[in-house]
Amino acid sequence: MEVVPGLHWVDQIWDTKVYLWIEDDRVVVIDAAMPGRALAVWRYLEALGYPPGAVQAIWLTHGDIDHMGSVAALKTGSGAEVVVHHGDVPLVDGRATRAVRAGRMTGSLEKTFNWAIRCLLAYQPVPVDHPVEDGDLLGEWQVVHTPGHTPGSACYYHPRRGILIVGDALNHRRGRLGAPPPLFSYDRDQALASILKIAALDFEVCCFGHGPPLVEKAGQRVRAFAHALQ
Ligand SMILES: [Zn+2]
């Protein structure tokens, strides 16, 4: 479905949101969901009249399995470049394992979690073509580094259109905004500081990795949520 003109959500993918930004003949896929979801993206694009080759870039909000799972298939099918903040490059290209919050029992949780990514879900790592930094521009989109959930979590922000794509830096479940889950945020304080950073931006539309997009007054909702955290 079209969220706002030019920005689509691939609604056949129910687990983690995959967004498409379509401008002229250029398609950008934002996030890659779990493994096995590339076909749903191709079908959605086909219905709009675009072949896989129209995809020029795949922007990842971060290197979690449910956001990068199908990146290899999407890249192979389209030849698109893979973009992610440099802090999460080692997760995407397979050099690092996912760190969870330090504490009692988390050592074994971390091992099990990374075993599941590698063996059970068979994540296929890909080289990152274009590592980005805070403030980098991708056309009119701006990269906003929002670490805490992972080291390289980043939002994609379109100031002129007032659109913000936040990945897991914030979620929107059952009508409520939420911070990233503490157990799967390697640095909780940083994750909360990132929410304040997001709240300082000027936007109307907010798209989450989990939960429906807010298409009106999203900035106000996020500011109220961030204020309550302080
Ligand atoms: Zn995540």
Tens of pLDDT, residue by residue over 87-143, are: 999 999 998 888 877 665 677 788 887 888 888 788 899 999 999 999 999 999 999
Q: Where are the beta strands (DSSP E) in the chain?
A: 2-4, 7-9, 19-23, 26-30, 55-59, 81-85, 130-132, 137-138, 141-145, 154-158, 163-167, 171-173, 176-178, 205-208
pLDDT digits (tens, 9 = 90+) for 208-220: 999 999 999 999 9
Predicted pLDDT of residue 103: 64
* Burial class of residue 77 in the structure, from the number of CB atoms within 10 Å of its CB (0-12 exposed, 13-18 middle, 19+ buried): middle
Cα–Cα distances (Å) from 158 to 6, 138, 204, in that order, read 12, 10, 10
Distance 150 CA to ligand 1 centre (A): 7
pLDDT digits (tens, 9 = 90+) for 59-101: 999 999 999 999 999 999 999 999 999 999 999 999 888 887 7
Task: Give every CB contact of residue 14 below 8 A, 6+ residues apart in sequence.
Answer: none
Model confidence at 15, pLDDT cuts 50, 70, 90, reads confident
Tell me the whole-structure pTM to 2 decimals: 0.94
Average pLDDT over the chain, rounded to whole? Answer: 94
Q: Give CA–CA dist 9/2, Å, rounded.
A: 6
Q: Give CA–CA dist 200/144, Å, rounded.
A: 11
Distance 147 CA to ligand 1 centre (A): 11
Percentage of the chain exceeding pLDDT 90: 81
β-bridge pairing 137-138 and 141-145: antiparallel
Predicted pLDDT of residue 98: 83
Q: Give CA–CA dist 181/169, Å, rounded.
A: 10
Distance 68 CA to ligand 1 centre (A): 10
Distance 185 CA to ligand 1 centre (A): 8
Model confidence at 230, pLDDT cuts 50, 70, 90, reads confident
Distance 148 CA to ligand 1 centre (A): 10
Distance 209 CA to ligand 1 centre (A): 8
Q: Where are the beta strands (DSSP E) in 124-178?
A: 130-132, 137-138, 141-145, 154-158, 163-167, 171-173, 176-178
Tokens representing 72?
Answer: 């290899």
Predicted pLDDT of residue 102: 64
Task: State mean pLDDT over 12-33.
Answer: 94
CB 99 within 8 A of CB 153: no
Distance 91 CA to ligand 1 centre (A): 12
What are the chain's domains? 2-229 (3.60.15.10)
Distance 5 CA to ligand 1 centre (A): 26
Distance 63 CA to ligand 1 centre (A): 7
- The alpha carbons of the chain give a radius of gyration, in whole angstroms, of 16
Distance 64 CA to ligand 1 centre (A): 5
Distance 32 CA to ligand 1 centre (A): 12
pLDDT digits (tens, 9 = 90+) for 180-193: 988 888 899 999 99
Q: Indicate the DSSP class of residue 213.
A: P
Q: Give CA–CA dist 114/48, Å, rounded.
A: 37
